[in-house]
A = this chain, B = another copy of it.
Amino acid sequence: MTEEDRVSAEIALLWGLRDTTRRGRKPALSVPDIIRAAVEVADAEGLGAVSMARVAKQLGNSTMALYRHVSSKEDLLKLMSDAALEDPPEMPADIGWRDGLALWASSVLVALRKHPWYARIPLAGPPIGPQNLAWFDCALGALADTPLEEAEKVGVVMGLLTFVHGEMRLTVELAESFRNNPEAFGRAYSRALRLLVDPRKMPALGRVVEAGVFDFDTLYDEREVEADFGFGLNLYLDGVAAYLARRT
Protein backbone atom coordinates (compact mmCIF):
# COMPACT_ATOMS: atom_id res chain seq x y z
CA MET A 1 0.00 0.00 0.00
CA THR A 2 2.99 2.28 0.20
CA GLU A 3 2.78 2.51 -3.53
CA GLU A 4 -0.49 4.35 -3.46
CA ASP A 5 1.09 7.74 -2.93
CA ARG A 6 3.25 7.27 -5.94
CA VAL A 7 0.55 6.76 -8.53
CA SER A 8 -2.58 8.74 -9.30
CA ALA A 9 -5.87 7.93 -7.58
CA GLU A 10 -7.24 6.66 -10.86
CA ILE A 11 -4.46 4.13 -11.29
CA ALA A 12 -4.72 3.07 -7.67
CA LEU A 13 -8.39 2.29 -8.26
CA LEU A 14 -7.58 0.20 -11.32
CA TRP A 15 -5.02 -1.80 -9.40
CA GLY A 16 -7.06 -2.09 -6.23
CA LEU A 17 -4.52 -0.15 -4.18
CA ARG A 18 -6.91 1.87 -2.02
CA ASP A 19 -5.44 2.45 1.40
CA THR A 20 -8.20 1.55 3.77
CA THR A 21 -8.36 3.21 7.15
CA ARG A 22 -10.28 1.37 9.82
CA ARG A 23 -12.59 4.20 10.78
CA GLY A 24 -16.20 4.60 9.67
CA ARG A 25 -18.97 2.26 8.76
CA LYS A 26 -17.98 -1.03 7.15
CA PRO A 27 -18.47 -0.72 3.41
CA ALA A 28 -21.25 -2.90 2.11
CA LEU A 29 -20.07 -2.25 -1.43
CA SER A 30 -16.64 -2.63 -2.95
CA VAL A 31 -15.24 -1.39 -6.23
CA PRO A 32 -14.85 -4.94 -7.60
CA ASP A 33 -18.50 -5.62 -6.74
CA ILE A 34 -19.56 -2.53 -8.61
CA ILE A 35 -17.46 -3.43 -11.62
CA ARG A 36 -18.85 -6.95 -11.63
CA ALA A 37 -22.42 -5.70 -11.48
CA ALA A 38 -21.82 -3.20 -14.26
CA VAL A 39 -20.26 -5.90 -16.43
CA GLU A 40 -23.24 -8.15 -15.80
CA VAL A 41 -25.63 -5.45 -16.88
CA ALA A 42 -23.60 -4.63 -19.98
CA ASP A 43 -23.31 -8.28 -20.95
CA ALA A 44 -27.01 -8.91 -20.51
CA GLU A 45 -28.52 -5.68 -21.77
CA GLY A 46 -25.84 -3.79 -23.61
CA LEU A 47 -23.73 -0.80 -22.71
CA GLY A 48 -26.69 1.49 -23.25
CA ALA A 49 -28.43 -0.12 -20.30
CA VAL A 50 -25.54 0.65 -17.97
CA SER A 51 -26.79 3.58 -15.94
CA MET A 52 -25.77 4.32 -12.41
CA ALA A 53 -29.30 3.52 -11.32
CA ARG A 54 -29.36 0.21 -13.16
CA VAL A 55 -26.03 -0.90 -11.73
CA ALA A 56 -27.13 0.08 -8.23
CA LYS A 57 -30.31 -1.93 -8.70
CA GLN A 58 -28.22 -4.92 -9.74
CA LEU A 59 -26.45 -4.63 -6.40
CA GLY A 60 -29.59 -3.93 -4.37
CA ASN A 61 -28.26 -0.53 -3.34
CA SER A 62 -29.25 3.00 -4.00
CA THR A 63 -27.92 4.94 -6.95
CA MET A 64 -25.93 7.42 -4.97
CA ALA A 65 -24.15 4.82 -2.90
CA LEU A 66 -22.02 4.04 -5.93
CA TYR A 67 -20.50 7.49 -5.83
CA ARG A 68 -18.71 6.67 -2.60
CA HIS A 69 -16.58 4.24 -4.56
CA VAL A 70 -16.46 5.57 -8.09
CA SER A 71 -16.15 9.24 -8.88
CA SER A 72 -18.29 9.30 -12.01
CA LYS A 73 -19.84 7.11 -14.62
CA GLU A 74 -16.89 7.78 -16.87
CA ASP A 75 -14.66 6.42 -14.15
CA LEU A 76 -16.78 3.29 -13.88
CA LEU A 77 -16.52 2.78 -17.63
CA LYS A 78 -12.75 2.91 -17.43
CA LEU A 79 -12.77 0.25 -14.76
CA MET A 80 -15.16 -1.91 -16.78
CA SER A 81 -12.97 -1.50 -19.80
CA ASP A 82 -9.96 -2.98 -18.06
CA ALA A 83 -12.01 -5.76 -16.46
CA ALA A 84 -13.60 -6.75 -19.78
CA LEU A 85 -10.30 -7.98 -21.14
CA GLU A 86 -10.06 -10.80 -18.62
CA ASP A 87 -6.83 -12.77 -18.99
CA PRO A 88 -4.61 -12.93 -22.08
CA PRO A 89 -4.06 -16.34 -23.68
CA GLU A 90 -1.36 -18.70 -22.54
CA MET A 91 1.35 -18.67 -25.17
CA PRO A 92 2.78 -22.12 -25.98
CA ALA A 93 6.50 -21.92 -25.36
CA ASP A 94 7.70 -22.50 -28.91
CA ILE A 95 4.87 -20.92 -30.85
CA GLY A 96 6.94 -18.45 -32.87
CA TRP A 97 6.19 -14.80 -33.42
CA ARG A 98 3.72 -15.17 -36.26
CA ASP A 99 1.43 -17.76 -34.74
CA GLY A 100 1.81 -15.98 -31.43
CA LEU A 101 0.57 -12.68 -32.80
CA ALA A 102 -2.22 -14.40 -34.70
CA LEU A 103 -3.28 -16.22 -31.53
CA TRP A 104 -3.15 -12.96 -29.64
CA ALA A 105 -5.31 -11.14 -32.18
CA SER A 106 -7.89 -13.86 -32.34
CA SER A 107 -7.94 -14.05 -28.55
CA VAL A 108 -8.83 -10.38 -28.43
CA LEU A 109 -11.80 -11.11 -30.63
CA VAL A 110 -12.78 -14.07 -28.46
CA ALA A 111 -12.70 -11.84 -25.38
CA LEU A 112 -14.72 -9.31 -27.31
CA ARG A 113 -17.39 -11.87 -28.06
CA LYS A 114 -18.03 -12.17 -24.34
CA HIS A 115 -18.06 -8.42 -23.78
CA PRO A 116 -18.84 -6.69 -27.07
CA TRP A 117 -19.37 -3.37 -25.33
CA TYR A 118 -15.62 -3.20 -24.75
CA ALA A 119 -15.12 -1.72 -28.20
CA ARG A 120 -17.44 1.20 -27.41
CA ILE A 121 -15.71 2.47 -24.32
CA PRO A 122 -13.44 5.39 -25.20
CA LEU A 123 -9.74 4.96 -24.63
CA ALA A 124 -8.68 7.02 -21.65
CA GLY A 125 -4.94 7.13 -22.20
CA PRO A 126 -2.02 4.81 -22.81
CA PRO A 127 -2.50 1.30 -21.40
CA ILE A 128 -2.23 1.36 -17.63
CA GLY A 129 -4.79 -1.05 -16.16
CA PRO A 130 -3.58 -4.49 -15.03
CA GLN A 131 -5.41 -6.40 -17.72
CA ASN A 132 -4.41 -3.99 -20.43
CA LEU A 133 -0.79 -4.32 -19.46
CA ALA A 134 -1.04 -8.09 -19.26
CA TRP A 135 -2.29 -8.22 -22.85
CA PHE A 136 0.39 -5.77 -23.92
CA ASP A 137 3.02 -7.98 -22.32
CA CYS A 138 1.54 -11.02 -23.98
CA ALA A 139 1.84 -9.53 -27.47
CA LEU A 140 5.37 -8.31 -26.80
CA GLY A 141 6.24 -11.77 -25.53
CA ALA A 142 5.34 -13.24 -28.89
CA LEU A 143 8.12 -11.13 -30.38
CA ALA A 144 10.65 -12.04 -27.70
CA ASP A 145 12.68 -14.35 -29.92
CA THR A 146 12.94 -11.94 -32.81
CA PRO A 147 16.01 -9.75 -33.20
CA LEU A 148 13.97 -6.54 -33.06
CA GLU A 149 14.85 -3.68 -30.79
CA GLU A 150 12.42 -3.15 -27.92
CA ALA A 151 11.06 0.02 -29.54
CA GLU A 152 10.49 -1.84 -32.79
CA LYS A 153 8.54 -4.52 -30.98
CA VAL A 154 6.33 -1.83 -29.55
CA GLY A 155 5.84 -0.46 -33.05
CA VAL A 156 4.82 -3.84 -34.43
CA VAL A 157 2.43 -4.43 -31.54
CA MET A 158 0.96 -0.96 -31.91
CA GLY A 159 0.29 -1.63 -35.57
CA LEU A 160 -1.39 -4.88 -34.71
CA LEU A 161 -3.36 -3.14 -31.99
CA THR A 162 -4.50 -0.53 -34.47
CA PHE A 163 -5.64 -3.22 -36.83
CA VAL A 164 -7.43 -5.10 -34.08
CA HIS A 165 -9.15 -1.97 -32.83
CA GLY A 166 -10.44 -1.33 -36.31
CA GLU A 167 -11.66 -4.88 -36.53
CA MET A 168 -13.37 -4.55 -33.17
CA ARG A 169 -15.17 -1.48 -34.30
CA LEU A 170 -16.35 -2.97 -37.56
CA THR A 171 -17.32 -6.26 -35.96
CA VAL A 172 -19.27 -4.83 -33.08
CA GLU A 173 -20.98 -1.97 -34.82
CA LEU A 174 -21.90 -3.88 -37.93
CA ALA A 175 -23.19 -6.76 -35.84
CA GLU A 176 -25.36 -4.38 -33.91
CA SER A 177 -26.70 -2.63 -36.94
CA PHE A 178 -27.34 -6.01 -38.53
CA ARG A 179 -29.49 -6.96 -35.57
CA ASN A 180 -31.41 -3.69 -35.82
CA ASN A 181 -31.80 -3.62 -39.53
CA PRO A 182 -30.87 -6.82 -41.38
CA GLU A 183 -32.37 -5.64 -44.65
CA ALA A 184 -29.53 -3.14 -45.01
CA PHE A 185 -27.20 -6.13 -45.49
CA GLY A 186 -29.34 -8.18 -47.83
CA ARG A 187 -30.31 -8.08 -51.46
CA ALA A 188 -31.63 -4.59 -50.92
CA TYR A 189 -28.03 -3.43 -50.53
CA SER A 190 -26.80 -4.52 -53.92
CA ARG A 191 -30.06 -3.32 -55.46
CA ALA A 192 -29.52 0.11 -53.92
CA LEU A 193 -25.93 0.21 -55.11
CA ARG A 194 -26.97 -0.63 -58.65
CA LEU A 195 -29.39 2.28 -58.55
CA LEU A 196 -27.12 4.79 -56.89
CA VAL A 197 -23.67 4.09 -58.28
CA ASP A 198 -23.14 5.93 -61.50
CA PRO A 199 -20.36 4.04 -63.33
CA ARG A 200 -19.18 7.29 -64.88
CA LYS A 201 -18.62 8.92 -61.51
CA MET A 202 -17.51 5.80 -59.65
CA PRO A 203 -16.04 3.48 -62.23
CA ALA A 204 -14.12 1.21 -59.89
CA LEU A 205 -17.04 0.70 -57.57
CA GLY A 206 -19.29 0.28 -60.59
CA ARG A 207 -17.16 -2.62 -61.80
CA VAL A 208 -17.28 -4.25 -58.39
CA VAL A 209 -21.04 -3.96 -58.21
CA GLU A 210 -21.37 -5.19 -61.76
CA ALA A 211 -19.18 -8.19 -60.98
CA GLY A 212 -21.75 -9.20 -58.37
CA VAL A 213 -19.44 -8.97 -55.38
CA PHE A 214 -22.34 -7.81 -53.21
CA ASP A 215 -24.95 -10.20 -54.57
CA PHE A 216 -25.48 -12.35 -51.52
CA ASP A 217 -28.55 -12.92 -49.43
CA THR A 218 -26.72 -11.32 -46.61
CA LEU A 219 -23.37 -9.61 -46.52
CA TYR A 220 -23.22 -9.99 -42.80
CA ASP A 221 -22.13 -13.43 -41.87
CA GLU A 222 -20.17 -14.18 -38.72
CA ARG A 223 -17.91 -16.58 -40.62
CA GLU A 224 -17.44 -14.20 -43.51
CA VAL A 225 -16.45 -11.35 -41.23
CA GLU A 226 -13.91 -13.54 -39.51
CA ALA A 227 -12.45 -14.72 -42.79
CA ASP A 228 -12.08 -11.12 -43.94
CA PHE A 229 -10.32 -10.32 -40.70
CA GLY A 230 -7.98 -13.25 -41.21
CA PHE A 231 -7.21 -12.02 -44.72
CA GLY A 232 -6.28 -8.53 -43.54
CA LEU A 233 -4.41 -9.84 -40.53
CA ASN A 234 -2.33 -12.12 -42.71
CA LEU A 235 -1.44 -9.25 -44.99
CA TYR A 236 -0.20 -7.33 -41.97
CA LEU A 237 1.76 -10.30 -40.65
CA ASP A 238 3.26 -10.82 -44.11
CA GLY A 239 4.42 -7.26 -43.84
CA VAL A 240 5.99 -7.95 -40.47
CA ALA A 241 7.72 -11.00 -41.93
CA ALA A 242 9.11 -8.89 -44.76
CA TYR A 243 10.31 -6.33 -42.23
CA LEU A 244 12.04 -9.04 -40.22
CA ALA A 245 13.67 -10.46 -43.33
CA ARG A 246 14.90 -7.02 -44.35
CA ARG A 247 16.20 -6.45 -40.87
CA THR A 248 18.44 -9.51 -40.59
Question: A residues near B, CB below 8 A?
Answer: 3, 6-8, 11, 15, 120, 122-126, 128, 130, 133-134, 136-138, 140-141, 143-144, 149-151, 153-156, 158-170, 173-174, 176-178, 181, 183-185, 188-189, 191-193, 195-197, 201-208, 211, 213, 219, 228-229, 231-232, 234-243
Contacts and interface: CB of A to CB of B under 8 A. Distances in A.
Given A173-B122, A185-B126, A232 B7 contact: no
Q: Say what secondary structure dominates the interface of chain A.
A: helix
Given A141-B204, A236-B235, A239-B234, A125 B228 contact: no
B231 A155 contact: yes
Number of copies: 2
A210 to B, nearest CB: 8
A243 B124 CA distance: 36
Given A125-B174, A238-B242, A232 B184 contact: no
Contacts of A178: 125
A203 B161 contact: no
Given A189-B128, A195-B7, A159 B202 contact: no
Contacts of A235: 156, 159, 236, 239-240, 242-243
A15 B205 CA distance: 17
A177 B150 CA distance: 26
Contacts of A163: 162-163, 166, 232, 236
